[in-house]
Structure 1
Amino acid sequence: MPPSDFVVSERVSAVRATVVHHQGGPEQLTFGEWATPAPGPGEVLIDVAAAGVNFHDIDQRIGLFPRDLPYVPGLECSGTVAAVGAGVTGVAVGDLVASLVFGPTGSYAEQVVVSVDSVVPVIDGVSAEQAAAVLLQGLSAHYLTGSCYPVSPGETVLVHAAAGGLGRLLTQVARLRGARVIGTVSTAEKEEVARAAGAHEVIRYTEVDFAAAARELTGGKGVDVIYDGVGHDTIDGDLAALRSRGTIVLYGQTSGPITSIDMRAGKPGSPRLVMPMIPDYIATREELMGRADDLFAWVRDGAITVHIGQKYPLAEASVAHADLEKRASTGKLLLIP
């Protein structure tokens, strides 16, 4: 095996990847070749085994979070270290790792170069697919329930989209922290999924007013905290479902951006709104490693279950995006090069 400071040649190679050349619908995801450079100092080249699909990828594709075109999307992956740049420590060629991907080339590719500061070793007992499926959403569930609003035993948590990939993990982690979890879902099938994830109560928001139902389930008090990745369609109901001095953690806006909040609609007083971004809660390698250590240990020990809803060939990333946008899946979606 090459030493840990092994460096491949400076030759730029072409790999197969899914590329966005124009902003728009899923059809803008095209499969072709993309140049992958050798890793420079402090960088790692990964042979991608699996890449996670996230709503943020869709938001970038449609232009909600614009970036320079063309680009390869994807924020997370797992795979084997193929080469490392000078000065890299902590990982070596041949290691199974998972990584956040914030560079110009995302994870929808056969290979990707990332900063070693974004890479974490995958422990024994956790597979490559599990690692890719849990990394970004699992880290998010960790800081959302541990830092944005530190959930305490006995508190009541409301999780929107509790049958989705992050919703399932939020439900499980909030239960680990001792909370009572109320989930919202759209269908009877998704209610079963949310209950299987550990939700104590489930509200079908397509059939009842979720805010009124949440207040009824809390004896009129309201919930302590709401984890909301939906945004536009739920924010007014969040205010009505919240207890006095409760907290809304708004971590996504899948139903569209919130352009205004009518505070008069809120029944409780003095609500607190937190709008977290992952770089602020994984600001250092030490913070990343600490959260990842907890996360992978939970997976290995069976404390949380990673549900992979669907796996797609890398060339079918457009199908994966369409399915995610239509809410046609539950659990995590993966692309397999």
Structure 2
Amino acid sequence: MVKAVQIQQFGGPEVMQIVDLPVGPVQAGQVRIRHHAVGVNYIDVYHRTGLYPNDLPLGLGMEAAGEVLEVGQGVEHLQVGDRVAYASGPIGSYTQERVMPAQNVCRLPKEISYESGAAMMLKGLTAQYLLKKCKPVEGLEPGDYVLFHAAAGGVGLIACQWAKLLGLQFIATAGSDEKCALALANGARYAINYRKDNFVERVREITGGKGVKVVYDSVGKDTWDGSLDCLQAFGLMVTFGNASGPVPAFAPALLAAKGSLYVTRQTLFAHTTSRERTQAMADDLFAVVASGAVKIHVEQRFTLDDVQQAHRQLEARQTIGSTILLP
């Protein structure tokens, strides 16, 4: 039996309870992992509230790092004792140990700590597909302007650094001067405090009225209209989260009126449908982290017992960088 977080109903942080659960046997294609650190992400809130519905009772969490304790038949890329990290289903990483499908479990290089591994997989792989795979029809080249909302969060701080490495003119938004300063310190070329300034007007000033080629937006409802107004003709709107609520329905003609725009709503898990694809993305992420070009900011640490407080701070936008649980 191991300690785990489980919900019996959808709702606020108070529905998360600590329970004792059996780990279960390791079947073919699976591995058993002892977690050293567990990542906390906004998608966990969506699962907890039922915005992304799942059957109950439900564990939470999509990301962790730890040590392989047992390997099932047919698993060839992992061995007992390997340091590993993952960001994938099934949901339920908020636990001390678990059995996982081996497909999306990746070896963690020795240069990267368990805490960084748990904090970087979902966020780092998200930044990877955003910057490398979500490109406008006219492409992304060094010197191009992009806008990234919530840039002082876990995904945002990785994206700031990676975008600088790629030579992009990265415009960050955040909700405080402190968070803006953090984004600038991590490679953003410009930062806008959206609580003080109209980010649409500032983007137009920064780009000389032209607008940006891409907007990366995990905020959702509150920034949607303004984000479209920041795009240049044939620009790409990438929505990948709903921190302020889901984006409302809109008429496709709106995209024509605002400059023949493109819109995409992608998820990480569409990009990690095979071990080969997952490993290639992870290798790209591991390389920039191991080189020191991208640093992982673990700013909040909670015990498993304090998971409710971790979610309260996350939803209140009181966190900076990444948050982890230490089981």
TM-score by length of 1: 0.93
Which of 54, 73, 82 in structure 2 is aligned with 1:95? 82
Amino acid corresponding to residue 174 of structure 1 in structure 2? A
The corresponding residue for 2:283 is 293
1:167 to 1:158, Cα distance in 2 relative to 1, 3 A: same
Structure 1 counterpart of 2:102, from 86, 95, 116: 116
User: Which of 274, 289, 302 in structure 1 is aligned with 2:264?
Assistant: 274
CA shift digits 1:101-123 (9 cap, x unpaired): 412x5100011111110110011
The one-letter amino acid of 1:203's match is I
**More off after superposition, 233-242 vs 147-156:** 147-156
Contact 1:245 1:268 in 2 (8 A): no
Contact 2:65 2:86 in 1 (8 A): yes
Q: Kindly indicate whether the alpha-carbon contact (under 8 Å) linking 1:77 and 1:101 is maintained by their aligned counterparts in 2.
A: no
2:231 to 242, 254, 257: 242
How many angstroms does 1:95 deviate by? 0.7
Whole-angstrom distance in 2 between the partners of 1:59 and 1:110: 22
The answer to whether 1:231 aligns with 2:220 is yes
| TM-score (structure 2 length as normaliser) | 0.96
Q: How far 1:314 sits from its partner (Å)?
A: 0.8
Kept in 2: contact 1:157–1:174 (CA 8 A): no
Match of 1:218, as an amino acid? Answer: T
Partner residue of 1:175? Answer: 164
Deviation at 1:241, TM superposition (A): 0.7
Alpha-carbon distance between aligned partners in 1 of 2:255 and 2:103, rounded to the nearest angstrom: 44
Aligned residues: 323
Q: Which of 18, 22, 27 pairs up with 2:5?
A: 18
**Cα distance per residue 1:188-234 (max 9 Å; x no partner):** 11111111111111111111211111011100000110100001001
Shift of 1:21: 1.1
User: How far did residue 266 of structure 1 move?
Assistant: 8.2
How many Å apart are 1:177 and its aligned residue? 1.5
Gaps of 5+ in 1: 1-13
Q: Is the 8 A contact 2:66 2:83 kept in 1?
A: yes
Matched, 1:302 2:307: no
Deviates more, 1:312-321 or 1:143-152: 143-152
User: 3-state DSSP class of the match of 1:36?
Assistant: coil
Checking the alignment, whether the CA contact within 8 Å between 1:236 and 1:261 is kept in structure 2 is no
Query: Is 1:67 matched up with 2:57?
Result: no
Structure 1: distance between partners of 2:221 and 2:39: 25
Conservation of the 8 A alpha-carbon contact between 1:240 and 1:265: no
Say which of 135, 154, 168 aligns to 2:121.
135
1:35 Cα shift? 2.2
Match of 1:218 in 2: 207
Three-state SS of the structure 2 residue aligned to 1:46 is strand
Query: How well do the aligned residues superpose, as a CA RMSD in angstroms?
Result: 1.4
**Is contact 1:164–1:332 with CA below 8 Å preserved after alignment?**
yes
Structure 1 residue 324 and structure 2 residue 314: aligned? yes
Structure 2: 5+ residue runs without aligned partners? none
How far 1:173 sits from its partner (Å)? 1.5
